[in-house]
Structure 1
Amino acid sequence: MLFGADQLMQWVHHYSWPFVRVSALLMAAPVFGASSFPVRGRILLAVLVTTLLVPLLPSVPAVDPLSPLGLIMLAQQALIGLAMGFLLQMLFAAVVIAGQSLAVTMGLGFAMSVDPQNGVQVPVLSQFYVILATLIFLAVDGHLTLLGLVAESFETFPVGSPVWDFQFAIRLVAWASQMFLLALMMALPALTALLLINLAFGVITRAAPQLNIFAVGFPVTILAGFVFILLSLPAVSDLLNDMFAQGFARISLLTP
């Protein structure tokens, strides 16, 4: 089979734009964008998803990817993919914030380990919540839902359509503010219990100043923190499911 230069350029026009959007999404999205995920596997997955998506996509404009207009369109496709992955990444950031708040309150802020999602050092409680969130994300087929959303984005936001208006940035900032609210809701049951325990130790210290509060308070606080974290796990699992549902709904609202 012979291939001409025109046919080769046509393939480049059809495959370059979806590949940039899909690869940017995989680079920024949780699980796919984790430092433990091989780069070669991410590239092969982007090629596979692009190959499956191209026959289902609407026609794309015949623009040279190396022309000034083509470079602008490439940057636009990368921005779409990065924005979609960044929204879900903020959910995992909320999980890390919740774990850090609990670790500092329990006295485990010094116990650090490497986060498998981002490759940075976080408290062990944050790593525990990140692993739990990752397992729930995969259990509810969040990775498949994310790939389905990027496929739908080519229908609602086709290649070559006008760029987003100012409301796009407003929606991103508004969702970033929800990150701290979700972190507080996740850590609130255990934080409330630990606050009451610390208040009780404060009263005991005033009543019996000779008591070594550090020798008694740290073991009790750590033990009580683990107990209340265990008791709050069912509510945290339900909250994570709701968080992922809200994240997918917000991704669908990014496109006009």
Structure 2
Amino acid sequence: MNLSLPVAELTALLLASVRAAAWLMISPPFNTNVIPAQIKALLSVAIALPVVPSIVGKVPALDTAAMVVSLAEQVVLGTALGFLTALLFAAVQAAGSLIDLFGGFSLAFAFDPMGATGNGGSGVFGRFYNLVAITLLFATDGHQLVLRGFTTSYNVLPLNGTLSLSNLQHLLTDGIVEMFAASLQIAGPLIAVLFCADIGLGLLSRVAPALNAFSLGFPVKILLTLTGVGLAMTMLPLAVENLVDKAVKAVMQAIGS
């Protein structure tokens, strides 16, 4: 009995899975270490399976050189689309890092720099904001919008399609600007409060040096930071929703849709 394998379908599945795997390694919320590598590999195959019938006619020539070039193109394309998404979502963690800096929570890294490296170089609120953003993505089904935006790339840029580098360059530049602007919008009000607290403590130390405003400043800033973060949590879901919309639009523009 002769066993015939659908070579074109298997090749399309392989190339589409490579693109999905490269995207899953970088794009939030799937880039977290909480998801094992085996699950990401299976998920990449699950993403590629539904699109195989539409891309099987775009399979490159079945020779070594063409396959190597196509595999490299899929890795670059998946990485680029994942980086665009991750760049915008980095605004949430950047906002938390700004709060750590102005609130004094990043001071621990000055005493334990190796501990900062082990924690990914992020402070308390940097990790907390990142965890809350990932939770909100899954709770509000935002990950499905991000995933749908990526799967659209198989229709617009099939296996023999190429990504416009000039368009990607402009999107990366705009994405960096959007990231810094969004992080300032999220953390800006609390930073202003902490800055005013620093000014007030500085004036207090000049007026009444005996109060030792330096030692008094630590519990005061901790209290203000925790209170401000608690109040700002109500605005974070809207910020994450806006970031999801911007990330999907950026991916659509990158693939020319």
| TM norm. shorter chain > 0.5 | yes
Residue 103 (structure 2) aligned to one of 101, 106, 110: 106
Counterpart position of 1:74: 71
CA contact (8 A) 2:163 2:254 kept: no
Q: CA deviation at 1:56?
A: 4.1
Deviation at 1:209, TM superposition (A): 2.1
Matched with 1:146 is: 146
CA distance in 2, matches of 1:73, 1:84: 17
User: For residue 196 of structure 1, what is the aligned residue in structure 2?
Assistant: 196
Q: Name the CA distance, whole Å, in 2 between partners of 1:204 and 1:110.
A: 22
Unaligned ranges ≥5, structure 2: none
| d(CA) in 2 for partners of 1:72, 1:25 | 18
Task: Give the SS at the match of 1:159.
Answer: coil
Does the CA-based 8 Å contact 1:13-1:63 persist in structure 2? no
Stretch deviating more after TM superposition (38-47 or 174-183): 174-183
Partner of 1:233: 233
User: Would the alpha carbon gap of residues 163 and 253 (structure 1) be closer, same or farther in structure 2, given more than 3 Å must change?
Assistant: closer
1:20 partner letter: V
Counterpart-to-counterpart distance in 2, 1:212 and 1:248? 51
Q: Which deviates further from its counterpart, 215-224 or 140-149?
A: 140-149
C-alpha displacement at 1:125, in angstroms? 0.7
Q: 2: distance between equivalents of 1:186 and 1:17? A: 39
**What is the CA distance between 1:92 and its match in structure 2?**
3.4
Cα distance in 2, alignment partners of residues 212 and 220 from structure 1: 13
SS at match of 1:59: helix
Find the aligned partners of 2:85 and 2:161 in 1 and give their Cα distance.
24
| 1:35 to partner: Cα distance | 1.7
TM-superposed deviation, 1:25: 1.0
Instruction: Indicate the residue corresponding to 1:89 in structure 2.
Output: 86
Q: What letter matches 1:40 in structure 2?
A: Q
What is the alpha-carbon distance in structure 2 between the residues aligned to residue 161 and residue 45 of structure 1? 23
Q: State how 1:29-178 maps to structure 2 within 5 Å.
A: 29-57=27-55, 59-64=57-62, 67-111=64-108, 120-178=120-178
Q: Secondary structure at the match of 1:228?
A: helix
For residues 142 and 83 of structure 1, what CA distance do their matches in structure 2 show? 20
Which structure carries more helix by proportion?
2
Residues 40-90 of structure 1: CA deviation (Å, up to 9, x unaligned): 1111111222222213446213422x5223222221111121112112212
Equivalent position amino acid for 1:244 in 2: V
Q: Which amino acid aligns with 1:180?
A: F
CA–CA distance in 1 between the matches of 2:35 and 2:12? Answer: 27
DSSP 3-state at the match of 1:109 = helix
Deviations 1:160-211 (A, max 9, x none): 1244242222212221222111111110011111111111111111111222
Task: State the SS of the aligned residue for 1:96.
Answer: helix
CA RMSD of aligned residues (A): 2.3
Higher relative contact order (CA 8 A, sep 6+): 2
Alpha-carbon distance in 2 for matches of 1:31, 1:119: 18
Identity in percent: 25
TM-score, with structure 1 as normaliser: 0.89
Task: Decide which moves more: 190-199 or 29-38.
Answer: 29-38
Change (3 A) 1:223 1:162: closer
Secondary structure (helix, strand or coil) at the match of 2:15 reads helix
Give, in whole Å, the separation in 1 of the partners of 2:163 and 2:245.
26
How many residues were matched structurally?
251
